[in-house]
Amino acid sequence: MSEEIERDVMTCGVCIVGAGPSGMSAAIKLVQMINAHNEAIDNGSKQGTRIDEESLGVDVPVIVIEKGGMVGAHSISGAVMNPVALAELFPNYKEEAPLEYEADIDEVVQLTAAGARKLPITPPTMINHGNYIVSLGKVIQWMGEKFSELEQDVYATFCGQEILYEGSKVIGVRCGDKGVNPDGTPKSNFEAGMDLHAKVTILCEGSRGSMTKQLIKKLNLQNINPMVYATGCKEVWEVPEGRMEGRKVIHTMGFPLDNKTFGGGFVYHMKNNMVSVGMITALDAADPQMDPHKNFCKFKQHPFIKQILEGGKMLSYGAKTLPEGGWNTVPKMAGDGFMICGDAAGLVNTPKLKGIHYAMKSGILAAENAFDMLVSGDFSASSFERYIQAVTDSFIGQELIPFKNFRPLMKKGIFPMGLVKGGINYFTKGKYPWVNMKLHEDHTEIKTMAEYYPGGKPEDDIKYDNKELIYDKLTDVYNSGATHEEKQPCHLKVDTAKCKECYEKFGSPCEAFCPAQVYNIVRDEKTGAFERIQVDFSNCVHCKTCDIRDPFQAINWVCPEGGGGPMYNNL
């Protein structure tokens, strides 16, 4: 239907897709620079031409679109934020931004099934003095307010559906249609998504961005390694007074993960007797029944974590994927007509568990490059590619390049040899190992049920109480605020021809790896044999785990009708 209907076209100087940390930083920096430039032109302190609709020949100089119902609704992270990039945008951020606490006490704890041992020395990468515990959603909402003070608006509920091209040149994006029936026919309130034609398109979609994924494949932008990911599940709790003090940042390794699965847990102290608690599990785990949400629940049951949460109240839940492969998985970040920022570009420092300030800085650098192009009128491919060098020369490249082999070094587990190798990697500033180590797409690492469970899968002993400590997926989805218009096409495009084979070989891993119980296998009541897959897309929290880990790559996550998805609070 999308090719048969007439669409409105809006022309713009710069189109920014996504209002997360990279998108809002790009938007704010760009408008700040345009305003300063125009003011200097107007008062005669600078020679040149104003940047506006008339000089650019467009409907609007800058537009920001966001698939969430409001700015910050889909923003989720741990999070302990390095403030260096935020300070560039707002020198008075300490007085204005909604920060929780400046991190004061770091603890790294190794968990066993029943015990906990604090490491005597905190690894240098895990020292957080000078960083701030934050709710990313609150920070992004605040940045949206600061953007409004610049007399600019974010077009919330507008999702980018596909990239528009002229040959291999990106010329903008097409927004998703609204008011479409499940069978694809228009409803009475149908509204065709507009085409946004832009001189510059900045993709800030976050982890496994649906359009960025298309772009990387179409233009062959992949680095020497593909992107690899982990899924993090997180809750915010209100705990009894005095239970968590000292502006503490706790990271854990070990239980509930086996020694060959990469990941770990965290607990961060927040204001008003709240804590942020979460568990991250790598998506290259060999176990076909690997369940990030179940790992999170087991993590909370551990005595070390239970003593913090017991007697408290769970307030909100969320889940997301994060790119963790490092510099050698970062795709070519710019080309003719486009730049890619933040998590969409894989700019995450895995050993430091940091990515927010890279997202913000990459957005700032993209804005600076876009501004230079608007001033000069030079929108050649080489002008866009200046952004790649800017990122490489910035603290992003300086910090990520030495750790380019960190994730491959962890392939055989964190403790003890992973820590040893990681330490050598750190102290040699990345000189060890002396080659570029290989990574493979996460879904290729999954073993079949017969390979992983030759004696049969053991019974699961976890029991959800749904009121005191551990919550099943549906209860957690409720606490994520996730909603979607039910009568619309399913945004999880499943090749159902693969489902029966996946069930027989891998035990339907989608039921396990999805942290929101979107996928449910309907089985024969008598024999237990596979009948069909049921996709409850309204539960989706937009984490993209399914798009990444499905062993047949038979699930394609595309953007649903704008405004759908989670409504994160304090996450």
Question: How confident is residue 3, by pLDDT bands cut at 50, 70 and 90?
Answer: low
* Cα separation, 135 vs 241, whole angstroms: 20
Identify the band that residue 450 occupies on the pLDDT scale cut at 50, 70 and 90: very high
CA 463 from chain center: how many Å? 29
Judge whether residue 412 has pLDDT over 80.
no
CA neighbor of 204 nearest in space, from 326, 63, 90: 63
Rounded to 5 degrees, φ, ψ at 342 are 60, -145
pLDDT at 458: 87
Query: Over the chain, what is the mean pLDDT?
Result: 96
Q: Which residues contact residue 298 at a Cβ distance below 8 angstroms, ignoring those fewer than 6 apart?
A: 255, 256, 462
- Give dist(CA 530, CA 519) in Å, integer: 13
Residue ranges of E strands in 308-411: 313-323, 334-335, 338-340
Residue 480, Ramachandran bin (φ over 0: left; ψ between -120 and 50: alpha; else beta): alpha
3-state secondary structure at position 212 = helix
Q: Looking at 87-91, 297-301, 419-423, which range is the least confident one?
A: 419-423
CA distance 541 to 473: 11
- Strand spans (E) along 67-182: 80-81, 99-102, 105-111, 116-118, 132-134, 154-156, 160-166, 169-175, 178-180
CATH 3.30.9.90 fits 100-133+226-321, yes or no: yes
Residue 546 has pLDDT above 60, yes or no: yes
User: What beta strand segments (E) does 18-70 contain?
Assistant: 60-66
Residue type at 470? I
Give pLDDT tens digits for 160-204: 999 999 999 999 999 999 999 999 999 999 999 999 999 999 999
pLDDT band at residue 528 under the 50/70/90 scheme: confident
Domain with CATH 3.30.70.20 in the chain: 443-557
Q: How far, in Å, are 135, 268, 315, 438 from residue 274 at the CA level?
A: 11, 9, 9, 41
Give me the phi and psi of 155, to 5 degrees please.
-85, 80
Whether the per-residue pLDDT at 4 is higher than 90: the answer is: no
Model-level pTM greater than 0.75? yes
Per-residue pLDDT for 1 more than 80? no
CATH 3.50.50.60 domain locations along the chain = 9-75+142-223+330-402
Q: Tens of pLDDT along 364-377?
A: 999 999 999 999 99
Q: Which helix (H) or strand (E) holds 249?
A: strand 248-254
Distance from C-alpha of 201 to C-alpha of 198, rounded to nearest angstrom: 6
**Is the per-residue pLDDT at 57 higher than 90?**
yes
3-state secondary structure of 420: helix
Task: For the beta carbon of residue 478, count every other beta carbon within 10 angstroms.
Answer: 12
Q: Is the pLDDT of residue 291 over 60?
A: yes
Looking at the chain, which residues constitute the CATH 3.30.9.90 domain(s)? 100-133+226-321
51, with CB counted inside 10 A (0-12, 13-18, 19+), is: buried
How is domain 443-557 classified at the CATH fold level? Alpha-Beta Plaits (3.30.70)
Give me the pLDDT at residue 245, please: 83
pLDDT at residue 426 in the model = 86
Q: Which residues are 28's β-sheet partners? A: none
Mean pLDDT of the region 501-506: 96
Over the stretch 127-155, which tens digit does the pLDDT of each residue have?
999 999 999 999 999 999 999 999 999 99
- pLDDT at residue 415 is higher than 80: no
Cβ neighbours of 231 (radius 10 Å): 29
Residue 30 pLDDT > 70, yes or no?
yes
Q: How confident is the model at residue 418, as a pLDDT?
A: 81
Q: What is the pLDDT of residues 264-279, one digit of tens each?
A: 999 999 999 999 999 9
Q: How confident is the model at residue 322 (pLDDT cuts 50, 70, 90)?
A: very high
- Residues 339-362: what's their mean pLDDT? 98
User: What are the pLDDT digits (tens) for 391-408?
Assistant: 999 999 999 999 999 999
Identify the pLDDT of residue 461: 78
Q: Which CATH architecture best describes the domain 9-75+142-223+330-402?
A: 3-Layer(bba) Sandwich (3.50)
Residue 459 has pLDDT above 90, yes or no: no
Structure tokens at 411: 């392939």
Percent of the chain with pLDDT over 70: 99
Check if the beta carbon of residue 543 is closer than 8 Å to that of residue 231. yes
pLDDT of residue 187: 96
Residue of 113, 440, 442, 503 whose CA lies nearest to 285: 442
Name, in order, each residue with C-beta under 8 angstroms of 316's C-beta and a sequence gap of 6 or more: 235, 236, 479, 480, 481, 568, 569, 570, 571
| pLDDT computed for residue 348 by the predictor | 98
Indicate whether 301 pLDDT > 70: yes
Per-residue pLDDT tens over the stretch 206-231: 999 999 999 999 999 999 999 999 99
545 within 8 A of 292, measured Cβ to Cβ:
yes
Cα 235 to the chain's mean position, in Å? 16
Q: Which residue type is seen at 382? A: S
Q: What is the DSSP letter of 498?
A: G
Picking from 281, 266, 280, 262, the residue whose alpha carbon sits closest to that of residue 418 is 262
82 three-state secondary structure: coil
